[in-house]
């Protein structure tokens, strides 16, 4: 088979399964409303859970950072790309989340890949929740360590896998809030199971940080758990982008020596670090508390009303509210029906989610109004008829 034949075969297979991905050019894709092809939609696909991506204080902070530092960092943090703005953000994050150190990464994907690649050896074992993010599972598959997956949030199976003999170290991997189901991991029970076998716990809290817990400190803080490795990302609750790894002094020093994604990547623009510090300040403030309360009210209202509609959902108390449809073609039809009613929703299909669980991944944000949630529920009702 030639290169072109191989590529065409893979594309044809995706199209035949109604799983072909496309991008849409949109304006203001993180806001309450977005525009596509000169039409306005109410946006229920954004991860900007607190509505901070357009917050004037944060936007101005980025502008001021750019005026001071320019628009790029100029290099890796190991060379010339580590500025007072980066240092200040790392120190603020560590203090806020109760860790000795924080290390900044350009993205959550890079952070997850870097930590697993740097830490794991051929005699080690990774025990990961089956529904962990693709960046975590790909990193585990590419590492020399053995990968074993446990059924979603099944602590008993996790314990069973950890009990099996292992010549090296074991790392338990899970998420605080799962990106496709929106439900939370039982972090206390997971951490206890890990500690019983002297394993470390890595928690990716991309969808919990900023949104859950006191001052928005996230899922682990909310459940009174302190994993050995906490990864937080800034493209959701923070409304910006990037990520950080929270860890001990020795682990931070180790990653600075061996995490290739950190060593060989240009660091985030200093202006971005300034904006992230401003975003953290809003998240920790009374305004942040009010935004979280507003979002929680929308989530409760939506879930109570969805029970009266003919759809399956998950046990999600987060901003992620999936509507499980099942078949790919039916999910695409529903997404298009909702868009005809002015609702921008996204159809999520395998391989992103397990086969037979194609869904509408709806996200609620503090930028919405109650009337938006009611309009979405009405559109779902009409589409289901």
pLDDT in the model for residue 352? 87
Look at residues 245, 216, 215 and name the one whose alpha carbon lies nearest to residue 233: 245
Q: Where are the beta strands (DSSP E) in the chain?
A: 33-36, 39-43, 101-105, 125-129, 146-150, 170-175, 200-204, 229-233, 243-247, 320-326, 343-344, 346-348, 358-363
Residue 13 in any domain: the answer is no
pLDDT in the model for residue 72? 95
Question: Residue 95 pLDDT > 90, yes or no?
Answer: yes
3-state helix, strand, coil in the chain (%, to 5): 45, 15, 40
Q: Which residues are part of the catalytic machinery? A: 47, 133, 175, 179, 204, 207, 236
Residue 4 in any domain: the answer is no
CA 365/CA 320 separation, integer angstroms: 9
**Which of residues 284, 319, 348 is at a domain's end?**
284
pLDDT in tens, 114-138: 999 999 999 999 999 999 999 999 9
- Strand order of the β-sheet with 343-344 is 33-36, 39-43, 343-344
pLDDT in the model for residue 383? 84
Contact 360, 331 (CB under 8 A): yes
Residue 332 in any domain: the answer is yes
CA 203/CA 187 separation, integer angstroms: 9
pLDDT in the model for residue 310? 85
Q: Model's pTM, two decimal places? A: 0.94
Residues 6+ apart with CB under 8 A from 100: 94, 247, 248, 249, 252
* Bridge partners of residue 39, in order along the sequence: 36
Question: Residue 385 pLDDT > 80, yes or no?
Answer: no
For residue 38, count CB atoms less than 10 angstroms from its CB and return exposed for 0-12, middle for 13-18, buried for 19 or more: exposed
Task: Tell me: do 294 and 278 sit in the same domain.
Answer: no
Q: Tell me what percent of the residues of the chain surpass a pLDDT of 70.
A: 100
CA 354 from chain centre, in angstroms, equals 18
CA angle 50, 52, 56 (to 5 degrees): 145
Mean pLDDT of 291-298: 98
CA 32 from chain centre, in angstroms, equals 19
Residue 183 in any domain: the answer is yes
Task: Tell me: do 60 and 209 sit in the same domain.
Answer: yes
- Give the CATH number of the domain where residue 363 resides: 3.90.1150.10
CA 164/CA 151 separation, integer angstroms: 16
CA 112/CA 132 separation, integer angstroms: 11
Domain of 374 in residue numbering reads as 21-49+285-384
Contact 211, 283 (CB under 8 A): no
Q: Structural domain tally of the chain? A: 2
**Which of residues 284, 302, 327 is at a domain's end?**
284
Look at residues 154, 153, 152, 172 and name the one whose alpha carbon lies nearest to residue 162: 172
pLDDT in the model for residue 29? 80
Task: Tell me: do 222 and 351 sit in the same domain.
Answer: no
Mean pLDDT of 307-314: 87
Contact 288, 359 (CB under 8 A): no
State the distance between the two ends of the chain, measured CA to CA, in whole angstroms: 46
Residue 302 in any domain: the answer is yes
Task: Tell me: do 96 and 221 sit in the same domain.
Answer: yes
Banded model confidence at residue 30, pLDDT cuts 50, 70, 90: confident
pLDDT in tens, 333-374: 999 999 999 999 999 999 888 889 899 999 999 999 999 999
Q: To the nearest whole number, what is the mean pLDDT of the chain?
A: 95
Instruction: Tell me the CA distances in angstroms from 366 to 34, 60, 281, 292, one per residue in order.
Output: 16, 20, 17, 7
């Amino acid at each position: 088979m030639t290169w072109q034949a191989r590529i065409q075969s893979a594309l044809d297979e995706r199209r035949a399964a109604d799983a072909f991905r496309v991008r849409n050019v949109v304006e203001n894709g993180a806001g309450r409303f977005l525009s596509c092809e000169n039409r306005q939609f109410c946006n229920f696909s954004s991860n900007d859970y607190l509505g901070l991506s357009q917050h004037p204080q944060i936007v101005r902070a980025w502008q001021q950072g750019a005026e001071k530092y320019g628009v790029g960092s100029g290099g890796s943090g190991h060379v010339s790309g580590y500025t007072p703005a980066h240092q200040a953000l790392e120190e603020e994050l560590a203090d806020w989340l109760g860790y000795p150190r924080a290390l900044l990464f350009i993205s959550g994907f890079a952070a997850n890949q870097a930590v697993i690649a740097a830490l794991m050896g051929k005699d080690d074992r990774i025990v990961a929740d089956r529904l962990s993010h693709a960046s975590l599972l790909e990193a585990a598959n590419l590492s020399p360590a053995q990968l074993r997956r446990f059924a979603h949030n099944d602590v008993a199976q996790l314990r069973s896998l950890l009990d099996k003999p292992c010549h090296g170290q074991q790392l338990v991997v899970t998420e605080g809030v799962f990106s496709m189901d929106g439900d939370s991991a039982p972090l206390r029970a997971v951490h206890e199971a890990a500690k019983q076998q002297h394993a470390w716990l890595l928690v990716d809290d991309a969808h919990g940080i900023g949104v859950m817990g006191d001052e928005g400190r996230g899922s682990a803080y909310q459940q009174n758990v302190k994993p050995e490795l906490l990864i937080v990302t800034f493209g959701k609750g923070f409304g910006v982008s990037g990520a950080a790894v929270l860890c001990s002094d020795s682990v931070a020093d180790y990653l600075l020596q061996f995490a290739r994604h950190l060593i060989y990547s240009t660091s985030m623009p200093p202006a971005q670090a300034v904006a992230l510090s401003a975003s953290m300040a809003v998240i920790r403030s009374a305004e942040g508390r009010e935004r979280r309360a507003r979002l929680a009210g929308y989530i409760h209202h939506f879930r109570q009303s969805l029970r009266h509609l003919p759809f399956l959902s998950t046990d999600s108390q987060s901003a992620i509210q999936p509507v499980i449809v099942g078949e790919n073609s039916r999910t695409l039809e529903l997404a298009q029906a909702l868009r005809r009613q002015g609702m921008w929703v996204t159809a999520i299909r395998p391989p992103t989610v397990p086969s037979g669980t194609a869904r509408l991944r709806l996200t609620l944000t503090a930028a919405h109004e109650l009337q938006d949630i009611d309009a979405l529920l009405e559109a779902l009702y009409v589409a289901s008829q």
